[in-house]
Amino acid sequence: NNKGAGGQMGRDQFRSRLGFIFAAAGSAIGLGNIWRFPYMTGASGGGAFVLMYLAIVLVVGVSLLLVEFSIGRHGKANAVDSYAKINKSFAWIGYLGVFTSFLLISYYSVVGGWTIFYTFKSATGSLASVPADQMGNFFGGFISKPLMPLFYHFLFIALTVWIVANGISGGIEKYTKALMPLLFVMLLILLVRAITLPGAMKGVAWYLKPDFSKLTGSTVVAACGQVFFSLSLGLSGMVTYASYLSKDENLISNSFIVAMADTLIAIIAGFVIFPTIFAFGGEPSGGPGLVFISLPQIFTKMPLGSVFAFIFFLLLVIAALTSSISIMEVCITFFTEKVKWSRLKASLFYGAVCFLLGVPVSLSFGMWGDVKILGKGIFDLFDYFCSNISLPLSGLACAILVGWFWGKDKALAEVTNNGTIQSSVAGLWFFTVKYIIPIVLGIIFLQAIGILNV
Ligand code: PFF
């Protein structure tokens, strides 16, 4: 066990630089890149959304990653205490993170369950027997059933709880080192197949050509929410991971590497999905089922399609698990350090609550499909609250905490390891955090809660 996030007693540290990068990248890279990014892009009109997304990653995302890393490493404690260590009146960001962690994992694991189902179905060959034009019905038939998806949701939660309760995230990390690059290679193989499908170029054009008439206030809110979701920001997950980080790590380069790797995977996922959708005559605006319909369609057009499908979905399950354990770790560090529960008790409690919360989410794809709260279905409501309200609000508060309360000297001392790292971007980072992020996020947040309406 080389990693603190998995330790039972005291506070361990990541032993190696790569250990932390892989854990942080493992948290960032997950369903958000391969499932959520394409369907958000599809629902928001393509190229213009992608441009907006990239702009927000550059201006807000990378900087906030560095903000979370520095708060966590400085605090060396659970999120609540890490914020409080800088300023007591900001501890609420940690509590909000704990609360949001429950909601976020409840639907994350419903979708994680879908990926397990697809892994099984590819292993048994039954996915391969579905004709390409029936993939939509196959998916719809599955998610609208009451019990089957719940069974897989349970499996996904159980796996997450099992990994975290046993404190074996350190072990997982070892495998992730090999598996993440493999996921990347698989994506590249799919990319080649997707863009050589007949009719694929229409999809590439749709994806790349920004149609600025599609750029509305709600598109910007969605792009911002996607950045937070994908980079694991605003939940204190990165604060928690960085709290196990040693003092001589280079936080600045770590935040660049994690943000770039995460963004690259998302962009490539788009290059796989959209050409496929256009090649098979589907609709980019198809919603949360998008990748579960178009990915299997690609496999039907590949030699050894079932084998590729199995490997791909298995890797996706693993990528999802390395994210879900980070979502869960926010709560576990909180319950073990603040409430003094054992790791096992905290994990079981967390798993039980999240399973129950996921039940209405899963049913909202079937028999509870008509239930609307505040005009939204249950899944959409959970997701909107987490991605577009809670995460950006925490991000905004973190930026204010660092920019206005921690202050330049202390913040820069933390990110440059007391001046031992020479960095030309540290000053720019602080300026961005103090002035630009509060303004940008402030405006987007007002739009998200409906006060502004552009
Ligand atoms: N970033 C993960 C993904 O893209 O799948 C999801 C996530 C993990 C969100 C951790 C938030 C978080 F704190």
Section 52-72 average pLDDT: 98
Which of 104, 169, 263, 389 has most ligand 1 atoms within 8 Å of its beta carbon, as the pocket-test mutant?
104
pLDDT at 1: 34
Closest approach atom of ligand 1 to CA 33: 4
The yes/no answer on whether domain 4-448 falls in CATH 1.10.4160 is yes
pTM of the model as a whole: 0.95
For residues 146 and 349, what is the distance between their CA atoms, to the nearest angstrom?
Answer: 24
**In the numeric block, which tokens belong to residue 282?**
């589907």
For residues 433 and 59, what is the distance between their CA atoms, to the nearest angstrom?
Answer: 9
* Phi, psi (deg, nearest 5) at residue 368: -100, 25
**In the numeric block, which tokens belong to residue 248?**
């001589």
pLDDT tens sequence across 396-443? 999 999 999 999 999 999 999 999 998 889 999 999 999 999 999 999
For residues 18 and 21, what is the distance between their CA atoms, to the nearest angstrom?
Answer: 5
Quick one: how far is CA 209 from the chain centroid? 25
For residues 17 and 445, what is the distance between their CA atoms, to the nearest angstrom?
Answer: 35
Task: Assess whether pLDDT exceeds 50 at residue 4.
Answer: no
DSSP code at position 129: T
Measured over the CA atoms of residue 206, residue 210, residue 216 and residue 217, the dihedral's sign is: positive
pLDDT tens sequence across 130-147? 999 999 999 999 999 999
Closest CA to 432 of 409, 387, 410, 400: 400
For residues 415 and 383, what is the distance between their CA atoms, to the nearest angstrom?
Answer: 32
Which of 229, 315, 382, 388 has most ligand 1 atoms within 8 Å of its beta carbon, as the pocket-test mutant?
229
Assembly ipTM: 0.99
